[in-house]
Amino acid sequence: MDRHNGSDSGKPASAAAAADGGRGAGTATPAYQRIKDYILSQVQSGHWREGDAIPAEQALAKTFGVSRMTVNRALSELASEQVLIRVQGSGTFVAQQKFEATLVDIRSIAEEIRARGHAHRSELHRLERGKAREPLAGQFGVPVGAALFHSVIVHFENDLPIQVEDRWVNPEQAPDYMQLDFTRMTANEYLMRAAPLQGVRYRIEALLPPREIADMLHIPPQEPCLVLHRQTLSQGRVASIATLWHPGSRYQFAGGY
Amino acid sequence: MDRHNGSDSGKPASAAAAADGGRGAGTATPAYQRIKDYILSQVQSGHWREGDAIPAEQALAKTFGVSRMTVNRALSELASEQVLIRVQGSGTFVAQQKFEATLVDIRSIAEEIRARGHAHRSELHRLERGKAREPLAGQFGVPVGAALFHSVIVHFENDLPIQVEDRWVNPEQAPDYMQLDFTRMTANEYLMRAAPLQGVRYRIEALLPPREIADMLHIPPQEPCLVLHRQTLSQGRVASIATLWHPGSRYQFAGGY
DNA sequence: ACCACATTAATGTATAGACAAATATAACTG
DNA sequence: CAGTTATATTTGTCTATACATTAATGTGGT
């Protein structure tokens, strides 16, 4: 892992305010919380990226004018929240962004398939500029007729179709969506990088597939499908709405805790 | 809230071991962890129940022979893990057991329906002593031929069947399962009380229902069902395995974060 | 180049003490 | 008795320090 970035561009805004003598009387937020906020802002803004080493406790303590124990508390809590990873003797690092929901993992289907030791490939069936119609416009929060990108991709696991991904994307959040090479990177993977993911909403249902979907999955239209509707939120807006069709006989969601 | 129980029955087993001079050299587990373990054991064993006040930091510090800060760390961490609730000026209390998973709620279906403002009722279709066959025996970790309880219940939302609950239960974890009045309490609700829940594993798939299931749900056998397989763990063993059938047209799982 | 050893740096744990803030209880007052 | 005030209790935060543990780095010797 590389040493921590010396980018002083984003100094703690509250560093001066922190010099109020330490434990102030009217301090609205405690010092450890200000430190947490600062670090979170650096991570979420992308200044400190995944794997980067962040300043050592001593350094932060000096910067914020607090004792090491206070910094320790901030970092320890962020580690328990899986924002940071701490390695004794080595340093503190920005953790992998944890997008995997507890149950339905948000990992890309490609990753999942490769994790099983199988081969993944995908076919692009459609890629177009579409116009927002209801109820899609309402879900995205854009006026009817606004431009939206639309893609339909089939994912294969060892040449067996495993998922049809029908996705609508907000051009403002991902302007170069149409120029992507989907054989190299899945739409999901691209979106995770382009627009920092803030949240996910999903809905699972069982449906019989329309003929078009059934054909792409190579299944008869009588075979039930597990359908995952997924909305990803970025910067307070809906960045992407995907409908993922899985053949019931070949796919299950699993989880636990 | 009542004052904390004076039950001295379960003194910290490691209280003596804790008197090794505090920070020992070869101490396998740190002091704060021993305190956490002790508190967790008291909560999970039921000695300290939901809402009970637990001893104050000072008291625990004295009992374990450590400083207040060390106890503070243990309690704060348990609070962040939602095992305890801390109220400044008042005390520390055992929190509500949190069973709700992030996505597929583990709440009873009855609760869910009532939360929607609808009426819930259930029909008991089968209640019997069965014998463990494979693969069930393997999943429970009992020998083939061992006794298991088996129930089939249909849940209604406003007289519309919404779920068929096909459940197998380990008699050792819930000996009086056969004597229950399932119209008053769902099997799930009972099991949550009888056997402290430690974990859940689940799997979701889309299937066409067998005729028996379709009949109970009042749907044609061509209608796909959302099937949730759920294993609940208690005391390190599988306490219950449920297969929950939902008509795809009437039910969806939803979640988000 | 390689291995063994010492040094340095970073986090992990723990302490004793201090004050702040919120709550609960006791004492006082009308 | 009710309302107010004082007091004690309990958790919340912070400090300065100490030593342990782990990892990375430097240093010598072979």
Q: What share of chain A is helix, strand, coil (3-state, %, to 5)?
A: 25, 30, 45
Helices (H), chain B: 15-18, 31-45, 57-64, 68-80, 109-115, 136-140, 187-194, 211-217
Closest CA to B237 of B131, B99, B135, B142: B142
For chain B, what is the mean pLDDT? 80
Residues of B in contact with A251 (CB under 8 A): 205
Closest CA to B124 of B148, B151, B149: B151
Q: What pLDDT band is residue A107 in, cutting at 50, 70 and 90?
A: low
Query: In this predicted structure, what is the pLDDT of residue B43?
Result: 86
**Chain B: residues touching A (Cβ < 8 Å):** 77, 80, 101-104, 199-208, 222-227, 246, 248, 251-257
Lowest mean pLDDT, pick from A21-35, A148-162, B116-130:
A21-35
Which 3-state string (H, E, C) describes A14-73?
CHHHHCCCCCCCCCCCCHHHHHHHHHHHHHHHCCCCCCCEECCHHHHHHHHCCCHHHHHH
Query: In this predicted structure, what is the pLDDT of residue A6?
Result: 38
Sheet arrangement for strand A91-94: A53-54, A91-94, A84-87
Q: What pLDDT band is residue B176 in, cutting at 50, 70 and 90?
A: confident
User: Is any atom of nucleic acid chain C found less than 7 Å from the CB of residue B131?
Assistant: no
Q: What is the pLDDT of residues B182-217, one digit of tens each?
A: 777 777 777 767 766 667 777 788 889 999 999 999
Contact A251 B205 (CB under 8 A): yes
Burial of residue A118 (CB within 10 Å: 0-12, 13-18, 19+) is middle
Q: What pLDDT band is residue B23 in, cutting at 50, 70 and 90?
A: very low
Q: What is the pLDDT of residues A50-95, one digit of tens each?
A: 888 999 999 999 999 999 999 999 999 999 988 899 999 999 999 8
User: Is any atom of nucleic acid chain C found less than 7 Å from the CB of residue A135?
Assistant: no
Query: In this predicted structure, what is the pLDDT of residue A174?
Result: 85
Query: In this predicted structure, what is the pLDDT of residue B97?
Result: 62
Other CB atoms closer than 10 Å to residue A256's CB: what's the count?
14
SS3 B156: strand
Q: Report the distance separating Cα A194 and Cα A171, nearest Å.
A: 11
Other CB atoms closer than 10 Å to residue A158's CB: what's the count?
12
Residues of B in contact with A203 (CB under 8 A): 252-254
Amino acid at A227: V
Sheet arrangement for strand B253-256: A120-131, A147-157, A160-169, A237-247, A225-234, A199-207, B253-256
Contact B253 A200 (CB under 8 A): no
Alpha-carbon distance B74 to nearest alpha carbon in chain A (angstroms):
13
Query: In this predicted structure, what is the pLDDT of residue A245?
Result: 92
Q: Tell me the torsion sign for CA atoms B107, B110, B114, B118.
A: positive
Closest CA to A164 of A254, A222, A250: A250
- What is the interface size between A and B, counted as CB pairs within 8 Å? 101
- Say if residue A250's pLDDT is above 70: no
B119 close to B110: Cβ distance less than 8 angstroms: no
Of the candidates B201, B251, B257, the beta carbon closest to that of A101 is on B257
Other CB atoms closer than 10 Å to residue A38's CB: what's the count?
21
Total count of residues recorded for chain A = 257
Question: Which residue matches tokens 């028996």?
Answer: B212
Query: In this predicted structure, what is the pLDDT of residue B129?
Result: 94
**Chain A: residues touching B (Cβ < 8 Å):** 77, 80, 101-104, 199-208, 222-227, 231, 246, 248, 251-257
Contact B255 A101 (CB under 8 A): yes
The structure tokens listed for B249 are 């047209």
User: Is any atom of nucleic acid chain C found less than 7 Å from the CB of residue A67?
Assistant: no
Comparing B251 with B146, the larger pLDDT belongs to: B146
A96 close to A246: Cβ distance less than 8 angstroms: no
Alpha-carbon distance B7 to nearest alpha carbon in chain A (angstroms):
32
Total count of residues recorded for chain B = 257
CATH of A15-94 among 1.10.260.40, 1.10.10.10, 1.20.1250.20, 3.40.50.1100: 1.10.10.10
Instruction: Considering only residues 19-38 of chain B, list those whose CB is below 7 Å from strand D.
Output: 23, 25-27
Contact B202 A256 (CB under 8 A): yes
Query: Strands, E, within chain B: which ranges?
Result: 53-54, 84-87, 91-94, 120-131, 147-157, 160-169, 199-207, 225-234, 237-247, 253-256
Interface confidence, given as ipTM, is 0.58
A160 close to A250: Cβ distance less than 8 angstroms: yes
Same fold across B15-94 and B109-247: no
The structure tokens listed for A184 are 């190299």
Of the candidates A224, A252, A255, the beta carbon closest to that of B248 is on A224
| Topology at the third CATH level for domain B109-247 | Chorismate lyase (3.40.1410)
Interatomic separation, CA of residue A1 and C1' of nucleotide C2, rounded (Å): 24
Chain D footprint bases within 7 A of protein beta carbons: 8-24
Long-range contacts of A31-37 (CB under 8 A, 24+ apart): A31/A64, A31/A66, A31/A70, A32/A70, A32/A71, A32/A73, A32/A74, A32/A77, A33/A74, A34/A64, A35/A60, A35/A64, A35/A66, A35/A70, A35/A71, A35/A74, A35/A75, A36/A74, A36/A77, A36/A78
Contact B246 A206 (CB under 8 A): yes
- Say if residue B140's pLDDT is above 80: yes
Strand partners, A234: A237
Alpha-carbon distance A242 to nearest alpha carbon in chain B (angstroms):
14
Which residue ranges make up each domain of chain B?
A: 15-94, 109-247
Interface test with B, best of A200, A226, A245 (most B CBs within 10 A): A226
The structure tokens listed for B65 are 């022979």
Q: What pLDDT band is residue B131 in, cutting at 50, 70 and 90?
A: very high
Q: What is the pLDDT of residues A128-141, one digit of tens each?
A: 999 998 788 988 98
B27 close to B51: Cβ distance less than 8 angstroms: no
